[in-house]
Amino acid sequence: MAPVTGAGEEMHALVERLYPLCRSITGDGVRATLDIVGEYLPLRVHEVPTGTQVLDWTVPQEWNIRDAYVADASGRRVVDFAASSLHVLGYSVPVRARMELSELREHLYTLPEQPSLVPYRTSYYAPRWGFCLAQETLDAMEEGEYEVCVDSTLADGHLTYAEHVVPGQVADEVLVSCHTCHPSLANDNLAGIAVAVFLARALAETAPWYTYRFVFAPGTIGAITWLARNKERIDQVKHGLVLACAGDRGPLTYKRSRRGDAGIDRAVRHVLRDSGRPHSVEEFTPYGYDERQYCSPGFDLGVGSLSRTPYARYPEYHTSGDDPGFVSPEAMADTLDVCREAFSVLDRDRRYVNLSPYGEPQLGRRGLYDSLGGRSDAKQAEMAMLWVLSMSDGEHGLLDVAERAGLPFDTVAAAADALHASGLIKA
Ligand code: ZN
């Protein structure tokens, strides 16, 4: 499958545009993010009121922030939200006060082991205020009085998420989900958002078999909200993929669904293996991103998760080191290619029945050997035809054939097309 020309650079530009916004699980930063995504894809934006019961959870109050700083006695801002959205503890309650550094310290978060980096911290469900800063900045702060200000609002409002649908030939759906709640962090998860956007655009040009539903929602509470509101139609979701940490320079990592052998698990594994890319495939764990919601036992969807370096396994994780320079156009383009290839497998994975199952049908008489003439992979293509005929018993799909035969899915699918055209198999 040919790469999408220029997609890596365009995805990186989108990451850079979204990076400064202060996102959280609710609030105007999420809306501003979806406004920008909406320039690339038409979105259906959902606003769910505070207090709405969603499965075992409740939609929280909406958080918005305008300014936040710590200023020294001379009025100089030593920590300034305007410089980075990471500087304020996410969901900080408002505060305006003067206090000694000794008292202020209880509200300061640093990374002593990585003294030049600012950590990412939140307090969604316990009312606190705080600042995140580099240990180096803290070390340079002298004893004395500081002015602190968090100009935020926590009030009844809404949780905001969005959907984009690429219509397919059937109503059965593939879900692509990514979290939109992290502030200025590039790999986690602006790269995931950017890959999802360009994946949707690429799929729209292929007239896909499945209907592809993209969900842009805050982590945990957003996925839970989406599930609560789609519980009645959840059987329509046949496959799914959570995209996170999709842009760092490490090799790809696929985390299987809870079921372990769902269609998506087999499709991604096949594509990764067949491509020869360095990669790893890991078993499901009930931690990580929103696959833990989609795979919860009541839903048990066939949803896996694709990352490059998984969460918490790179030193820049949840720090100011996860900036746009940490993600690369090439890595995002590579993630995009694997998604497109895996979905192309899902889209074309059909079961066929051999209509001439008693002995081998004569391929030469039907011109099927001639069709291979001159192809450099003629032998492989011939083997693919024999395998498709052999396994087309109505029980096995084309991905089963590719795996059993050790052949690329594309070769097997092309063989099936040729056999179908000559009337030897039927879907
Ligand atoms: Zn995260």
pLDDT at 1: 82
* Neighbouring C-alpha atoms within 13 Å toward the C-beta of 421: 11
CB crowding 352-365: b at 16 or more within 10 Å, else e: bebeeeeeebebee
Place of tokens 């705080």: 130
Length of the chain, please? 427
What is the dihedral sign for C-alpha 229, 231, 232, 237? positive
In 10 A of CB 394, how many CB atoms?
11
Tell how far the Cα of 290 is from the centroid of ligand 1, in angstroms.
11
CATH of 7-60+158-348, one of 3.50.50.60, 3.40.1280.10, 3.40.630.10, 3.40.140.10: 3.40.630.10
At the top level of CATH, which class does the domain 65-155 belong to? alpha beta
Q: How far, in Å, is the centroid of ligand 1 from the Cα of 246?
A: 12
d(C-alpha 198, C-alpha 215), whole Å: 14
Q: How far is CA 290 from CA 26, 98, 219, 393, in A?
A: 17, 40, 6, 37
Q: Which pTM value belongs to this model?
A: 0.96
Tell me, what's the pLDDT at 2? 85
Q: Separation of 248 CA from ligand 1 center, angstroms? A: 14
- What is the distance in A from the centroid of ligand 1 to the CA of 183? 10
Identity of residue 103:
E
Cα dist from 335 to 198, 206, 338, 340, whole Å: 11, 18, 5, 9
Please list, residue by residue across 243-269, b when 16 or more beta carbons sit within 10 angstroms of its beta carbon and e when fewer do.
bbbbbbebebbbbbbbbeebbbbbbbb
Q: Which of 412, 363, 361 has its CA nearest to residue 387?
A: 412
Distance from the alpha carbon of residue 179 to the mean position of ligand 1, in angstroms: 9
CATH no. of 351-426: 1.10.10.10
**Residue 425 bridge partners (DSSP):** 354
User: Quick one: pLDDT at residue 311?
Assistant: 96
Residue 374 pLDDT: 67
User: If you measure from the C-alpha of residue 207 to the centroid of ligand 1, how many angstroms do you get, rounded to a whole number?
Assistant: 33
Residue 64, SS3 per DSSP: strand
The two structure tokens encoding residue 8: 């890596």
pLDDT along the chain (427 residues), means of 10: 92 98 98 98 98 98 98 97 98 98 98 98 96 98 97 98 98 98 98 98 96 98 98 98 98 98 97 96 97 98 98 98 98 98 97 95 87 76 95 96 96 95 95
Residue identified by tokens 């003439």 is 373
Cα 182 to middle of ligand 1, angstroms: 7
Q: Quote the CA–CA distance of 46 and 230 in Å, as a whole number.
A: 13
120 C-alpha vs ligand 1 centroid, how far in Å?
9
Q: How many angstroms does the Cα of residue 282 sit away from the middle of ligand 1? A: 19
311 C-alpha vs ligand 1 centroid, how far in Å? Answer: 7
How many whole angstroms separate alpha carbon 37 and alpha carbon 49? 22
What's the CA-to-centroid distance between 4 and ligand 1, angstroms? 28
What's the rounded Cα separation, in Å, for the pair 42 and 200?
A: 10
Per-residue pLDDT at 33: 98
Q: Are strands 131-132 and 108-109 parallel, antiparallel or unpaired?
A: parallel
Q: How far is the CA of 180 from the centre of ligand 1 (A)?
A: 10
Question: Domain locations in the chain?
Answer: 7-60+158-348, 65-155, 351-426
Distance, CA 157 to ligand 1 centroid (Å)? Answer: 24
- Ligand 1 center–CA 289 separation, angstroms: 8
> What local confidence, expressed as pLDDT, does residue 144 receive?
96
Dist CA 365 CA 267 (whole Å): 34
